[in-house]
Structure 1
C-alpha cells in the first residue's frame, strides 16, 4: 500500500459515470430527503420534545441551558436545538415553526451524506461516492428517523465526519484533522460524553493496529484535530458555568462524572447483543451486502486495510453501544456507517446470483408495498375494497379524507417512473441497489403524499391540544399535572404556552385545575372533591387519555 492514498486501484467498478447518472442520483437524493420534512405537526416522541425545547429558546429561554416546559432538559446538549431555533427565527413566518425547525434534520442529513461520500472517496476512490450514499439511504432503519426532529441526526453527522477524517488524514492532513475535530465536537454537542468511548478508541486504535491509517504527519493531524474539537468541548460548558451556575451543577456530573467514575459508563439496562440483533433489519440491505462482500471476497478482501479499519469500527461500536447505552433503535444509527462502507467497497465484485436475488426481493417488496399503498388510498376514496376500509376504520375511527389532485398526480408520476426504471435498466450489481433505493424512495414519497393526512391524524396531538385550550377557563391560574410525559409537556408549551406544576416534583402543590395523563390500561378514578371538566384522546390511541379536573364547588 502506498504511503499516501489508501485507494485500492485494483477495484473494478461496474458501469460508467455520465452526467445523466449524476443528475438522476441528485434527484433520487432530493426525492428521498425532502418529503416528510414539512407539512405535518410534531409527532411523538423526539419531535414533540425537540419542538418544545426550540419553542422555549425562542420564547425567552436560555440558549445555553435547554429547557422543556420550563424545566432543565439534561438528556442532550443543545447543538440540534440551536440550528432548529435559528431556522425558525429566520423563516420569517413563511412556514410553520415546526416545519422550519425540522429543516435542521435535512441539513444534518446533507452533512452526513458529505461525510459518507468523503469516507468512501478516501477509502475506495471517486467512483464510490454515489454508490455509498445510495446504499446508505436504502437502509430500512433510516428513512423515518432521517425526517424527524432529533439530536440523533446531528450526532450521526458528527460521527460520519470523524469516520471520513481518518482516511482523509493520509493525504490531507490539515483538512482531515479539522474535519475530524469538528465532527467530534458536533458529536459531543449532540449526545454528550458518549462521543468519547465511541470515537476516541477508534482514533487511537486504527493508526496503532493498521499502519496504513497512520497519518504521515501525525503530530500536525492531531494538532488540527484538537483545534477543530476544543471550541465545541470548551465554549458551551464554560459559558453555561458562567451564565447559569445552578444549571451547570446539574450538567456537571453528566459531563465530567464518567471520567471521575469510570463505572458510570456502563448503564444499568445495557443489552450487549441488542444492536447486533437490531442491525439484521435496521441496516438492511447494507448489513447483508457487507456480509456478502466479506464472504465472497476471500483472503484478499479481509487483508485490505479498509476492511480491517471498518471491522475494527464495527466491533468497537457494537461493544460500546451495547454496554454504554440503553437499548434504543436510534442509537443504532452510527452502525449504518461501517456496514455501508463495507458494502461499498465490494458491491461490484459480488456474484451475480446474490445481487439478482436482492434485485428481485427489492422489486417484489416495494412492488407489493406500492400496490398496498395505492389500494388503501383507493379504498379511502371509493369505499372499496370493503375489507381494507374496515381495517383502516379499526385503526383510526372516524377518519375522513378527500381527493387532492396534486398529491395524486405526483404519486402517479413517481409510480410510473419507478416502473419504467425497473423495466429499462440493465442487469448489474448496481442495478439491484438502485432499484432498492428508488423503491424505498417511491414508497416513502407515497406515504408522505397520498397517506400524509392519515398518518398525521394518527400521530398528531394537535387536535387534543386545541381541544384542551378551548376547555381551559380564560383566567385559570396555576394548573397541576400528573403523568404528563416529556412529549406532552413540550407540546403543551409549544401549542398553548402552558407550563404545569408537576405533582411528581411537588406532591404538596395545590391548584384549582388538575391535568392528568392516564394509561388506557388503568383507568383514572376521579378523586373525591374533584369533577371532570374535559377529557380527550388521540384518534385510535388506546394507551393515552387526557383528563382536566376542577375542584368541586363546596
Structure 2
C-alpha cells in the first residue's frame, strides 16, 4: 500500500471516456482555425511568407530569407515542413491551406503525445491510488487510461492555447516537439524503441524549431529524472537501476548530439530579455499567467498541495518530477523572453499532466463548483457570439451591430449555410453535454474536465464558423492588400499589375501579404530601383523614409487599419518626367 498517495480511486471511477466522443472533440478543436481562413497578420503570415519563398526556390533552405530579411525566430524545420507540403501537393490546391496541413498534424501530435505521456506517468508505482483492504481499487491500466483522458481534456480546456495552436508559426512546432519529448521521457520505463525515437525526434525538432536552449535543458532534466528514478516498473516488480542508468546516458548523449546539430546549423541565439520591474509590466505578466493556463493552473497547484508528502519525502516519482521540470523550463523562458505567451504555451502539456493528478483528489463540492462556473462562463460566451452574429446579419440588436461596425469599419457580413449548420450542431451538442453532466450517472475521475474542454472547443468552433468572416477581415491583410490593388489597377494600363513595386519599412508579414494576396513583385527601395509604385509603412511616428522624395513620388493612397488601432501603409506613384 502506497502510504504517500492521496488518490483514492475505485474501479468504478476509471471507466473510459467513449473513444468516438474523444475523437470528435479533438477534431472539433483541431480543424476550425486551419480550414476556411486567410493567413492572419504578423507571425502567421510571416511564416507563410518564408514557406512560399522556400517552395518557389527563391531562398536557401539552410538560411531562409524574405526579401533579404532573415526570420525573427531562427527556426528551420517549421519552414521546411510547410515548403515540402506545398511542393508535394497538387497545384490546384490553395497554397496557404496546403502550408497549414503540417501544422494541423503537429497540433494533433501534441494532443496525442500528451495523452500517452499522462498514461505512462500514471502507470508509475508512486502514482497509483491507495490499495483497498478488500480489493476494488482501480486497476493500473484502467486508472492510467482514465487519467490520460483527463489530461487531454485539461490541455484542450486551456484558454490561451486556442489561437496560438492554430497559427502556422514555429511556436506550434515547438509545442508539438515539446510534447513528443515529454511523452518519450515518460514512456522510457515501459518501452524501448518508440521512446528512443521519440526523444531523438522531439529534442532535435525542438532545437530546429527555434528553441535549442530549451531542448538542451529539457534533455538534461530528463536524463536526471531517469537517473534518479528507482521505481520505474510496475508494482511488484524489482527495481531495475541499470535500466534507469542506461536511459539516463542515452538521453544525455542525444542531448549532446542535438546541441551539436543546433551549433552546426547556426541555431544558437541569445534571446534573454529580462522583464521590466515596473508595475504595469508585472501586472501584464501576472494576467498572462492567470488566464493563459486557465483552468489547469489551479488544478496543478492543487496537485502539488495534495501530493506534497511525495514532494517532501525526497523520493517522489517521475509522475511529479518530469512535468515539474518541463513547467519550470517553460516558465523560465516565459520570464526571460519577449514572446512570453508563446513560451508559456510550451508548459501546457506538463501542466495538463499535473492537473490530471488533481482529479482523483477533488471533492464533490469542488467538482460541482468547477462544473457550474464552466457552464455559466462558456454558455454566456457562446450566447454572445450568437447574438453578435445575429446582429451582424439583421441589425438587431442595434448595439452589438454598432459595436461591430465601429471595430471593423468597411466589413460586410455574409451568410453561409455550411458554417451556420456546423455552429448550430455544435451548440446542440453543448446543450446535450450539459444535460448529460448534470444528470445522474456513474462517476468518472475525468468528468470535472468534460465541460471545460467542451466549452473551449465550442467557443473556438463558433468563432471559426460564425465569426470567420469578421475574423478574416480583422485578422488578415486582405482588406489592406485589396485597397492597394484597387488603386494600382485603376492607374495601370489595361488594369494589369505593374512590373515591380518598391517598398520601404514594410514588416515581414506585410511583404508576404502583398506578394501572396496582391501577387506583386516587390523590390527594396534603392537608388537603382526604378518601379512605378512605392509602398511605405508609416505606422511608427517618425519622419518618412528617405526613399520618399516628394519630387519623385506622388501620394495616391493612405490606408490605416482601425481594426488593430494602428497599422498604416501609404502608396506612392512615380511622377513621370
State TM-score, norm by structure 1: 0.85
CA distance in structure 2 between the partners assigned to 1:14 and 1:435 by the alignment: 21
**Shift of residue 446, structure 1, vs aligned partner:** 1.0
Distance 2:208 2:110 in 1: 16
Match of 1:156 in 2: 175
Equivalent of 1:430 in 446, 456, 461: 446
Measure the CA separation in 2 of the matches of 1:289 and 1:534: 53
Aligned to 2:506: 484
SS at match of 1:71: coil
Of 303-312 and 293-302, deviating more is 293-302
Q: Which of 47, 50, 54 is equivalent to 1:53? A: 50
Corresponding residue of 2:328: 315
Equivalent in the alignment of 1:65: 63
Q: 2: distance between equivalents of 1:128 and 1:365?
A: 25
Counterpart in the other structure of 1:362: 374
Which one of the candidate residues 309, 325, 347 is aligned to 2:359? Answer: 347
2:304 corresponds to 1:278:
no
Q: CA offset at residue 151 of structure 1?
A: 0.9
Distance 1:403 1:512, change over 3 A: closer
Aligned pairs for 1:335-484 (under 5 A) are 335-425=347-437, 426=439, 430-472=446-488, 473=492, 476=498, 479-484=501-506
State which of 330, 337, 342 in structure 1 corresponds to 2:342: 330
Distance across 2 between alignment mates of 1:431 and 1:122: 20
The answer for the alignment partner of 1:544 in structure 2 is 567
Stretch moving more, 270-279 or 373-382: 270-279
The 2-side partners of 1:298 and 1:270 are apart by: 33
Could you tell me whether the CA contact under 8 Å between 2:54 and 2:64 is conserved in 1? yes
The secondary structure found in structure 2 opposite 1:531 is strand
Tell me how large the CA RMSD over aligned residues is: 3.3
In the TM superposition, what is the alpha-carbon distance from 1:421 to its structure 2 partner?
Answer: 1.4
2:133 alignment partner in structure 1: none
Q: CA deviation at 1:206?
A: 2.4
Q: Tell me how far apart the structure 1 counterparts of residues 484 and 410 of structure 2 sit (CA, whole Å).
A: 20
Is the contact between residue 537 and residue 570 of structure 2 (CA under 8 Å) also seen in structure 1? yes
Q: 2:198 aligns with which of 162, 169, 179?
A: 179
Q: Measure how far apart 1:507 and its partner are.
A: 8.1
Deviation readout 1:335-370 (Å, 9 max, x if unpaired):
112211111122122122222111111111111011
- Distance verdict in 2 for CA 1:493–1:12, change over 3 Å: farther
Separation of aligned partners in 1, 2:257 and 2:89: 28
1:375-430 CA distances to partner (integer Å, 9 max, x unpaired)? 11111122111111111111112322233222222222211221121112247553
Query: 1:297/1:356 Cα in 2 relative to 1: closer, same or farther (>3 Å)?
Result: farther
Contact 1:179 1:228 in 2 (8 A): no
* Residue of structure 1 aligned with 2:88, choices 87, 90, 93: 90
Work out whether 1:299 is the aligned partner of 2:309. Answer: yes
Match of 2:535 in 1: 515
Length-normalised TM-score, structure 2: 0.81
Q: Deviations over 1:146-196 (max 9, x none)?
A: 111111111111111222222322232443233112110010110142234
Residue 191 of structure 1 corresponds to which residue in structure 2? 210
Q: 1:275 to 1:397 in 2, by over 3 A?
A: closer
CA contact (8 A) 1:173 1:221 kept: no
Are 2:149 and 2:446, in contact at CA under 8 Å, matched by a contact in 1? no
Call closer, same or farther: CA 1:216–1:208 in 2, change over 3 Å.
closer
Q: Is the 8 A contact 1:176 1:221 kept in 2?
A: no
Q: Is the 8 A contact 2:419 2:465 kept in 1?
A: yes
Question: Displacement of 1:502 after TM fit?
Answer: 3.9
- Of 173-182 and 32-41, more deviation after overlay is shown by 173-182
Kindly provide the CA deviation profile for residues 460-497 of structure 1, in whole angstroms up to 9, marking residues without a partner as x: 21232244345445585654323211111122232345
Asked if 1:146 is matched to 2:165, the reply is: yes
After superposition, the C-alpha distances for 1:253-295 in whole angstroms (9 at most, x for unaligned) are x53xx6xxxxx46436678977665222111111111112333
Question: What's 2:247 paired with?
Answer: 221
After superposition, the Cα gap between the structure-2 partners of 1:523 and 1:267, relative to the gap in structure 1 and judged at 3 Å, is closer
Q: Are the structure 2 counterparts of residues 45 and 442 from structure 1 closer, same or farther at C-alpha, using a change threshold of 3 Å?
A: same
Cα deviation, residue 299, structure 1: 2.5
SS, match of residue 424 in structure 1: helix
Deviates more, 1:311-320 or 1:472-481: 472-481
Moved more, 507-516 or 65-74: 507-516
Cα deviation per residue 1:26-58 (whole Å; 9 max; x = unaligned)?
Answer: 111111111111111100121101110111011
Give 1:28's match in structure 2, choosing from 25, 36, 48: 25
With over 3 angstroms needed to count, the CA separation of the structure-2 counterparts of 1:11 and 1:162, relative to structure 1, is: farther
2: distance between equivalents of 1:13 and 1:137? 26
